[in-house]
Amino acid sequence: MSRSSTPKPMKYPPISDKLPVFMHGADYNPDQWLHDPQVLAEDIRLMKLAHCNVMAIGIFSWASLEPEEGVYQFEWLDRVLDTFAENGIYAWLATPSGARPAWMSEKYPEVLRVEKNRVRNLHGMRHNHCFTSPVYREKVTQMNTKLAERYSKHPAVVGWHVSNEYGGECHCDYCQDAFRDWLKRKYGSLDALNRAWWTNFWSHTYTSWSQVESPAPHGEMMVHGQNLDWRRFVSDQTIDFYKHEIEPLKRISPELPCTVNMMDLFYGLDYREFAKVVDVISWDAYPMWHETDSDAGVGSWFAFNHDLFRSLKQKPFMLMESTPSLTNWQPVSKLKRPGMHKLSSLQAVAHGSDTVQYFQWRKSRGSSEKFHGAVIDHVGHEHTRVFEDVASLGQTLAGLTEVLGTTVPAEAAILFDWDNRWAIHDSQGPRNKGIHYEETVMQQYRALWELGVPTDIIGSFDDFSGYKLLVVPMAYLLREETGAKMEQFVKDGGTLFVTYWSGIVDENDLCHLTGFPGPLRKTLGVWAEEIDGLHDHDRNALILEDGNSLGLSGTYEIHELCEHIHAEGSKVLGVYRDDFYAGKPVLTVNELGQGKAYYLAARVSDLAFYEALYGKLVQDAGVHRALDTELPAGVTATPRTDGAHEYVFVQNFSGRAARVELDRQSYTDAETGRAVEGAIELPVNGIVILKREV
């Protein structure tokens, strides 16, 4: 293949030189137990027993660190960190900005967030401060400076856990001004802004910057370019606040890595932009296991997220939080069934995590999280099922040090952009009762997951050239440059797969005027003339053409969205069965240069279609699979490699026992060192790590 590819390093250094093994531990809140010094001593004994080597500490400790304005109290934290150091336990030290002390809200109400309705919140909860407030920023600088001065050389500290789960937005006057400044920097003139936002519509033209406001239900919501820019601004302003937080940390302790704990497919922040300024990605995973007989749906969703977080920096990430047993904020707090703790923890490792961490170490005695899963339950000792699961996983991780820093060799990628997501959901039509963008992305991912195809989740500004297969689900917002990059990718020998509702608008949410799919029309050899939104009960079907070049056959159900396309040089592989567009193309392929560009014009509902389709695409494009064997439904395999060895994590999410025939004579079980021959038997929630030479 003539395509150039940028080689990725195969093995990364440990996240901290102080702890060159898998990090295993939890969020730790000793400030809730300062009245009972016995607890700290007991915690240390139990941490060692649980094979825990790291804790995230101080996340919500502002009131204990600065009980009164300007009065600091660090002795308790000194004691905890010193005790850690004496006992071989390390710490991600948090900045406490995720929640403020009451004295601060009382004295400086401007630190409190203003909602869309322009009403300021009362003190309470957490994660609800204004990101722009000069007072809050000043308080954060003072606190973070003190922490960095006091602890950055502490032997127990491995890095900074900056704030907690950034998110949300504020509509206060400071934020409105910051939004206007952001727009001035972006557009330079009101004329340019009015053009980009198409404000002549409904006479929405702005004639002074002061007229521009954040979107509000009782104000402006209909200017899509404005809504999109507000989302971009909120994301940028949050990142700006983070940069402000780390300024003293980086100045005083440039050697310590900074992380922020992210959330699964979080809507409000463009994590790809955020990733540029954090040193190591970490995230918090709370799957709802055991809702159905098979956990394959939930398992693949979390696999997708792990892949996304790994792809953000293309290097190992951290599982910062996960529950050791139940999650108390979910509609139903179901316990992890036997095996699931190991399976779900090692799933993160399989996808590139170099840590397994929990929320939380010890259950709090009161308040809203007292029933959330923890390593140590209210009973206070180690003789619990959950503790045993955790300790046993700690032992497993300790035996897997050779996997640390290895990468996931992905030759397939799925395109997923935040601004596309925001724009797609904001659009009115073609299906306001459910456009199901994320579900569409997941339909593609799930098929690759079932096939055991390691996959990166990338953005429009990433390099496509290292991949053999690029999947582009519903790229509604598609820039001209991205289209050109995709064209080059195909010409150079890549396989491109694009779905309906792609190439509709540009980066300002203005429609492409050259016929949809806009910048991809030539590459795909199709023109999408119209799109039909279907009612929930409407059905159509895709009939695959006899002898089509993919060798697919049969009829598959279609629902929700049907685009009417014309093949302009592309070959038709399948057509509609029903309605006035029966016989018109649904699936096409265009050969361009050395590659192929496929287009799917309608939402096929059946997973079996995607499995058959991706099975062929992967085979044709020569895309690497973890195991070259048929995997039972709900069983997947994910590889990590150091270039010399591959570690294949075979995971059973099917909810029943499964047998996997191996694709070569023998492997080594990476946990036991024993030879594995012919096939493996996986119990319900079973996982095996197979090692082989590359």
**One of 28, 182, 274, 359 touching ligand GLA (CB under 6 A):** 359
Q: Which stretch binds ligand GLA (CB under 6 A): 104-112, 321-329, 515-523, 535-543?
A: 321-329
Residue 197 CB partners (closer than 8 Å, separation 6+): 204, 223, 225, 226, 229, 508
**One of 43, 165, 270, 377 touching ligand GLA (CB under 6 A):** 165
Q: Which of 531, 586, 599, 526 is nearest to 560 (CA)?
A: 531
**One of 80, 175, 504, 627 touching Zn ion (CB under 5 A):** 175
Residue 692, marked binder: no
Residue among 56 and 239 whose Cβ is closer to Zn ion: 239
Q: Which stretch binds Zn ion (CB under 5 A): 127-135, 233-241, 327-335, 551-559?
A: 127-135
526, 566 Cβ separation under 8 angstroms: yes
Amino acid sitting at position 301: W
132 binding Zn ion? (CB under 5 A): yes
Report how far residue 665's alpha carbon sits from residue 55's, in angstroms, rounded to the nearest whole number.
42
Size of residue set near ligand GLA by CB under 6 A: 10
Size of residue set near Zn ion by CB under 5 A: 6
Chain position carrying tokens 């270039």: 643
CB atoms under 10 Å from CB of 571, counted, come to 16
DSSP state of 95: P
Secondary structure string (H, E, C) spanning 521-566: HHHHCEEEEEEEECCCCCCEEEEECCCCCCCCCCEEEEEEEEEEEE
CB atoms under 10 Å from CB of 182, counted, come to 18
- Least separation in angstroms between residue 454's CB and ligand GLA is 27
Report 367-396 residues binding ligand GLA (CB under 6 A): 369, 372
**One of 284, 438, 507, 532 touching ligand GLA (CB under 6 A):** 284
- Least separation in angstroms between residue 465's CB and Zn ion is 42
Q: Which helix (H) or strand (E) holds 160?
A: strand 157-161
The side-by-side arrangement of strands in the sheet containing 687-693 is 635-641, 645-652, 687-693, 658-669, 675-682
269 binding Zn ion? (CB under 5 A): no
If contact means CB under 5 to 8 A according to the sort of partner, which of Zn ion, ligand GLA, none does residue 130 touch? Zn ion
DSSP state of 466: T
Residue 164, marked binder: yes
**One of 132, 144, 237, 327 touching ligand GLA (CB under 6 A):** 327
If contact means CB under 5 to 8 A according to the sort of partner, which of ligand GLA, Zn ion, none does residue 170 touch? Zn ion
To the query of whether residue 66 is one of the catalytic residues in this protein, the response is no
Catalytic residue among 273, 321, 487, 646: 321
The side-by-side arrangement of strands in the sheet containing 23-28 is 258-259, 157-161, 90-94, 54-57, 23-28, 353-358, 317-321, 282-284, 261-263
Residue 160, marked binder: no
**One of 32, 61, 128, 164 touching ligand GLA (CB under 6 A):** 164
* Residue closest to ligand GLA when measured from CB atoms: 284
Residue among 60 and 501 whose Cβ is closer to ligand GLA: 60
Residues in the chain: 694
Catalytic residue among 165, 245, 411, 563: 165
To the query of whether residue 611 is one of the catalytic residues in this protein, the response is no
CB atoms under 10 Å from CB of 400, counted, come to 17
Residue among 268 and 533 whose Cβ is closer to Zn ion: 268
- Least separation in angstroms between residue 210's CB and Zn ion is 17
587, 599 Cβ separation under 8 angstroms: yes
Chain position carrying tokens 């020998």: 493
Residue among 165 and 438 whose Cβ is closer to ligand GLA: 165
- Least separation in angstroms between residue 321's CB and ligand GLA is 5
349 binding Zn ion? (CB under 5 A): no
21: three-class secondary structure by DSSP: coil
**One of 274, 286, 289, 358 touching ligand GLA (CB under 6 A):** 286
Residue 52, marked binder: no
If contact means CB under 5 to 8 A according to the sort of partner, which of Zn ion, ligand GLA, none does residue 321 touch? ligand GLA
Residue 200, marked binder: no
Residue 562, marked binder: no
Paired with 597 in beta bridges are 496, 590
Q: E strands, 449-525, where? A: 455-458, 469-472, 495-499
353: three-class secondary structure by DSSP: strand
CB atoms under 10 Å from CB of 19, counted, come to 19
- Least separation in angstroms between residue 285's CB and ligand GLA is 9
Site string for ligand GLA, 168-197 (x = CB under 6 A): ------------------------------
Q: Which residues are catalytic?
A: 165, 321
- The residues binding ligand GLA (CB under 6 A) are 164-165, 284, 286, 321, 327, 329, 359, 369, 372
Which residues of this protein are in contact with Zn ion, per CB under 5 A?
A: 130, 132, 170, 172, 174-175
Q: Which residues are annotated as a binding site for Zn(2+)?
A: 130, 170, 172, 175
